[in-house]
Amino acid sequence: MNALSSLVPERSVKNGRSRLHYRTIWISDIHLGTKGCNAEMLIDFLDSVDSDILYLVGDIVDGWQLKKRLYWPTAHNDVVWRIMKRARRGTRVIYIPGNHDEMFRQFTGMSFGGVEIRRKKIHTTVDGRKLLVLHGDEFDAIMLAHRWLAFVGDAAYTALMAVNRRFNQVRRLFGLPYWSLSKMAKHKVKNAVAFISQFEEIVAHEAERRHVDGVVCGHIHTAEIRQFGSVTYYNDGDWVEGCTALVEHHDGTMEVLHWADVMAARHNAAPALELAA
């Protein structure tokens, strides 16, 4: 897409720590208030990157889980505090609530401590492309209409298990051990892959219908940059498993940051730096 050099973001040093600076950052599916939330890695991310604009693309707080049981460690407070702080210091923060934090949707159009709450937003990249930003749960109804796919999957699974049973009867005759269940696991993964690509297609199709150049969403916890015809589909992933963010560089280049990899690279580089010093 662009020259490699454009992928090197601007740097600044704050409190003795080098910080990367992007034009725009999108993060979502943090699920604060759950044990699954990887708040420590997100804090490391927030302490390492800055941007002119920050989008919170939904499921930031998990209201469903919090209603069931109050779980709110200090680290989760630290995330909220860091986001509010950057809003105060001039980063434009736009919060688009998702389905797990839908209780904030009633405040659409309002602003709290410099955080604008929106249902969706058209983002214009520095190179003039229009991107529709939304959480993505709005497509759940369409996904449900495609449930027959899941049914086909189920039927295939039942058939597979019948074959598996027969196969293992033969194996037993020859004194062979039971065949592993890895096929089942593989099948499940295949279904997940089908679900994800179906979601991506539906979202991209909707973006095309709205005549935008791309769409940015979260919701399915799978970071991706993928072209569908004239529309680019972007998903910023999550901070439960993937720990990813979508960023727009100052020249408009878009990139998914895998923060676990960044932290690992920093960890591996640290001893070398000590030796150099």
Contacts to Mn ion by CB under 5 A: 59, 98-99, 137, 219
Contact 197, 179 (CB under 8 A): no
Q: With respect to Mn ion, which residue has the nearer C-beta, 118 or 219?
A: 219
Q: With respect to Mn ion, which residue has the nearer C-beta, 139 or 259?
A: 139
CB of 110 to Mn ion, least distance (A): 21
Q: With respect to Mn ion, which residue has the nearer C-beta, 9 or 242?
A: 242
Q: With respect to Mn ion, which residue has the nearer C-beta, 127 or 140?
A: 140
Q: With respect to Mn ion, which residue has the nearer C-beta, 68 or 172?
A: 68
CB of 101 to Mn ion, least distance (A): 9
What's the rounded Cα separation, in Å, for the pair 19 and 188? 40
Give me the residue label for tokens 């979601």: 199
CB of 99 to Mn ion, least distance (A): 5
- The contacts found for 254-260 with CB under 8 angstroms, 24 or more apart, are 254/125, 254/225, 255/7, 255/225, 256/223, 256/224, 256/225, 257/45, 257/49, 258/223, 259/41, 259/42, 259/44, 259/45, 260/41
SS3 174: coil
Give me the residue label for tokens 């986001």: 83
CB of 112 to Mn ion, least distance (A): 21
> For 202, which DSSP code?
H
Of 132, 112, 126, nearest to 215 by C-alpha is 132
CB of 90 to Mn ion, least distance (A): 29
